[in-house]
Structure 1
Amino acid sequence: MTDTPFPATTKRTAGEVKGVLTDVMTVGFADKIVVTIVQNGRLAQWFHVGLDAAHRVLTDNAVEDGANDDFDDSLLPLPHLTPVTLLGGTDEKREATGQLLTVQIASLISARNKDESRMVTVGLGLGVKELDQQAFMEILELVGKCV
């Protein structure tokens, strides 16, 4: 019998988001990437979005054709991504925040590896229903350290 490393790569970080300790963990499986964002030990919502490299190529070609050369859209989520709420979608504001974060995280993962095609699953446990710009960017910065 030979020893093999655990098949799922795991990265974890923690930091403060608007004064609240926030834990972020990513686990990379063969078929999906799981990202959890936890505040105060809670995990209340789950979302997923599929990354399809073929759609990414089509989107990149449309952008290269010059839709608007004066506009920096590097921080915008990819337009072809459609998040799906799996669990915890009972509050509209909380669900909208979760879907926006999920698409942005998937876009970040896709930007770092254009050939990525695994499903991205995001588990959220945020203490607030909506995020202001600073909190949103702080969360994405923490996630960026793990992906």
Structure 2
Amino acid sequence: MSQLNEGSDPPKTDEVSPIKSLQVAAEYGMDRLDVISYGFSDKIMILISKNGSLGKMYYIPLTGSPVQQYAFNTDSTGEDDDFSLLAPSHITPTPILGASHDDVEGHIYAAQIAALIGRQNPDERRLVVVGLPYLGPRTDNEILTMQARGLFLDILQLVSQVRIW
């Protein structure tokens, strides 16, 4: 086992990392959104930060129990298909950092991101880890504003741009 002395340079290597990553940034109003994807051999990690901060994380298996396990339906019945964007029932985000089971908005974001990955690559079976920023306070009775809907769709579009799956 080698020891690294404080103040010494780490060993240098010419090897390329086996971890694939892509990053994209966008301005949204007064905020900067950064989306970074990492492709590990057993996981896909999507980190979305707002002005450099991350608020909560979820993990989402793309495969469910044998009863739930089925291919993602990539066939749409048309542009008016209201159900084509819904996440399949086996996509169940589990909070792992900074979120609770009651965080509906975070669950929706995480499920939709995992479903997007599954729709874009139906053969993908890696675990998905999603990190989300704090998106602002909402009350239970608050109607989703057009700005919040726009942010949601913009984030999904940014995630599509860092596709490593």
How does the TM-score come out when normalised to structure 1? 0.81
Structure 1 segment 1-147 matched on structure 2, within 5 A: 4-52=15-63, 55-57=69-71, 60=73, 72=81, 73-90=83-100, 92=102, 95-129=103-137, 132-147=148-163
Q: Kindly tell me: are residues 3 and 23 of structure 1, through their superposed partners in 2, closer, same or farther at Cα, counting changes over 3 Å?
A: same
CA contact (8 A) 1:18 1:135 kept: no
Distance in 2 between the 1:75 and 1:4 partners? 40
Q: Which 4+ stretches in 1 moved above 4 angstroms?
A: none
Q: Which of 1 and 2 has greater Rg?
A: 2
CA distance in 1, matches of 2:49, 2:122: 27
1:29-50, Cα deviation, whole Å (9 max, x unpaired): 0010000000122112110100
CA contact (8 A) 2:95 2:101 kept: no
More helix by share: 1
Structure 2 unaligned spans of 5+: 1-12, 139-143
After TM superposition, give the deviation of residue 16 of structure 1 in Å: 2.0
Higher relative contact order (CA 8 A, sep 6+): 1
Q: Is the partner of 2:70 in helix, strand or coil?
A: helix
Separation in 2, partners of 1:121, 1:6? 20
- Report the RMSD for the aligned CA atoms in angstroms: 2.7
Percent identity for Structure 1 against Structure 2: 34
Matched-pair contact (CA < 8 Å) for 1:32–1:121 = yes
TM-score by length of 2: 0.72
Mark the runs of 5 or more structure 1 residues left unpaired by the alignment: none
